Amino acid sequence: MSEVEQLSDEQRISVLETKVGKNRTVITIVALTMVVVLSVSFTVLILKLLHADEPYVLNSSFAEQQVVIQTLTAEVKQQQLLLEQLSLTYQQSQVATFQRTLIEQEQSYQEFLVALKLGMYDLAKMVQGSRTWLDVYNEKLDDAQNYSIAREKRLKRLPLK
C-alpha cells in the first residue's frame, strides 16, 4: 500500500475545491476576528487617551460655589423675613382698610339699588296707566347693579395678604 492511489483530474479538482472552500471559511473567520480585536483595541486605547484623571470640576471652584450658595441662601432667608414684615405692614396699612371699605360700599350700593327697584315697582302698581317707563327704569338700575358687582369683583381680586 505504499503506492498512492491515482485520482482522476475531476476527483483532484473536487478535493481541491473542498479544501479551498474550507480554507476560505477559516481565513474569513480569522479576518473577522482580527477586525473585531483591532476595533476593540483601538476603542480601549482611545478611551484611555481621552480619560482624564482630573475631576470634572476643580475642588477650588467647587468650594467657591459652595460659599456663594451659602451666601445666597442667607440672603433669601433675609428677603423672606422682609417680605413677611412688608406683608404684615400692608395688612395693617390704610390701603387694606380702604380696600375693605370700598368693597363694603359696593355691597351697600347694590342693596340700595335692589331696594330702589322694589320701591319703584310698588309705586308703579299704585299709578294708573302705562308701565313701560318701569321697564326702562329697571334696565338702568340693572346696568348700575352690574357695574357695581364688577367693581366689587375687581376690588376682591386685588391682593390682600
Residue-wise pLDDT for 109-135, tens only, equals 999 999 999 999 998 888 888 888 899
Q: How far is Cα 158 from Cα 161, in angstroms, rounded to an integer?
A: 9
Q: How far is Cα 113 from Cα 146, in angstroms, rounded to an integer?
A: 10
Say how many Å lie between the first and final Cα of the chain, rounded. Answer: 116
Residue-wise pLDDT for 98-109, tens only, equals 888 999 999 999
**Residue spans per domain, the chain:** 9-51, 58-92, 93-161
CA atoms within 13 A on the CB side of 53: 0
Q: Is 19 exposed, middle or buried (0-12, 13-18, 19+ CB in 10 A)?
A: exposed
List average pLDDT for each run of 10 residues in the chain, which is 161 residues long. Answer: 69 89 93 95 87 70 90 94 78 76 93 94 87 90 95 85 51
Cell of 86: 412688608
Residue 86 corresponds to which amino acid?
Answer: L
Residue 83, pLDDT score: 87
